[in-house]
Amino acid sequence: MANNQKGNVLAIAVMFMLFFMIAFVTNFAGSMGVIVQNQFGASNAMAQLGTLANFIAYACMGIPAGHILKRRGYKFTSLAAVIVGLVGVGIQFASGYVESFPVYVLGAFVAGFSMTMLNIVVNPMLNTLGGGGNKGNQLVQLGGSCNSVGGTIAPILLGYLIGGQASDATVADAAPALIIAMAIFAVAFVVIYFSEIPEPHMETAEEKAARLSGKAKKDPHGPMSFRHFVLGAIAIFFYVGVEVGIPNTANLYMSGLEGVGPVVAGTLVGFYWFCMMLGRLLGGAIGAKVSSKQMLTFANILAIVFVLCLMFIPEDVRMSIPGVDAQVPVSMVFMFLCGLCTSVMFGSIFNLAAEGLGKYTPVASGIFMALICGGGILPFIQGLVADAAGFINSYWVVIVGLAYMLFYAVAGSKNVNKDIPVE
């Protein structure tokens, strides 16, 4: 095997590891909602505050992280992200012992900075290593399956750590999971430090000299000059809100249901992320043959059908699920089946929006990350609707997000600005 091929394989493996950590840490915030409701007396909306803080960090750090990536490269950005993630999880760990809700929220916010930087790295890198287009989409979807593994493990692990009744849960119960996260960050730092990471989009020496001297030529264009990118960034805002809102709200809903409780709720939410993994593996398998547009269109139509089933099947219609010791609402089956649909949406939107951007890709990736704040804002809005009108009615927020993404897939993703030079 040629040296560059070996380097690509190792780089892909490192990106897959980072993808895992993004979901593993992010999903703590959602799963911890059950805990903070009990220990700190939070409402449905306030229980989403950790998630909101985690994702608001994207709005704060997205664009700056894009500039860091451009100036310092993928490896530096990855190492910095891992250090920040270790600190953020450490603060969350400490919150359980000082019994402070603000400290917990601060930890989630700091961890969000890490997740922003990691997302900045992994998506454009995997797309580049795959050669863009359908091949790039295929690699992003396969990497996303690692993301889903982390997402699957986090809520199940936390549910079992809580055990018993939600009313007994405290942040200290989650300590083992937080320690695992910190250990993985430490291992990731060592692996990345000794790995060779390609730097396809890093600024050249000439560009750096021009920037430092103040003589850099101002580019009349940028990512925001492309209509399909602007609409795609909005689609990412809605997507992450949908991806997070579906399981987070279901977790709060089921944890309080008689005969269900936090252990079963965490397991079913884990099924959602497991379905995302299966969907991403399928997306990776067919990604070279099916366009991102086709994939995104089909996934959104099916997701709308599933969410409507979730909303309109009565709560008292229940069934047994193998491996789950409880009678669960049939509607919640459609909750975790939604994971099959959301699995391929991010990669598809990213590829459609980044197509044809060329030199503007790093900055575009930063803007993308800023809009990931939707993962905190929409679930918070969904929590407010749940407080006012009930958990089930809050899923109309999800329907709105899915409808917009369907519009983007069908009409908004066309590049109408091909006259702009990108080299």
Q: What is the mean pLDDT of residues 367-389?
A: 88
Least confident of 78-92, 196-210, 298-312: 196-210
What CATH number has the domain spanning 3-194+224-412? Answer: 1.20.1250.20
* pLDDT value for 304: 97
User: Taking 90 as the threshold, does the pLDDT of residue 175 lie above it?
Assistant: no
Per the model's pLDDT, the better-predicted residue between 350 and 34 turns out to be 350
Pair 140, 350: CB distance under 8 Å: yes
- Binned at pLDDT 50, 70 and 90, residue 7 comes out as low
Helix (H, G, I), strand (E, B) or coil at 319: strand
Q: What percent of the chain has pLDDT over 90?
A: 20
The rounded mean pLDDT for the chain is 81
Pair 346, 240: CB distance under 8 Å: yes
Per the model's pLDDT, the better-predicted residue between 177 and 332 turns out to be 332
Q: Which of 56-60, 78-82, 306-310 has the highest mean pLDDT?
A: 306-310
Pair 235, 353: CB distance under 8 Å: yes
User: Taking 60 as the threshold, does the pLDDT of residue 355 lie above it?
Assistant: yes
Q: Which of 82-96, 299-313, 364-378 has the highest mean pLDDT?
A: 299-313
- Binned at pLDDT 50, 70 and 90, residue 234 comes out as very high
How many degrees, rounded to 5, is the angle at CA 253 between CA 247 and CA 254? 85
How far apart (Å, rounded) are the C-alpha atoms in residues 379 and 241?
Answer: 6
Domain boundaries, the chain: 3-194+224-412
- Binned at pLDDT 50, 70 and 90, residue 299 comes out as very high
* pLDDT value for 311: 94
* pLDDT value for 392: 92
- pTM, to two decimals: 0.74
Terminal C-alpha separation, the chain: 31
Q: What is the mean pLDDT of residues 229-238?
A: 94
| Helices assigned H by DSSP within 99-174 | 101-129, 133-162
* pLDDT value for 132: 63
Half-sphere exposure of 251 (CA within 13 A, CB side): 34
* pLDDT value for 1: 40
Element (H, E) at 252: helix 227-255
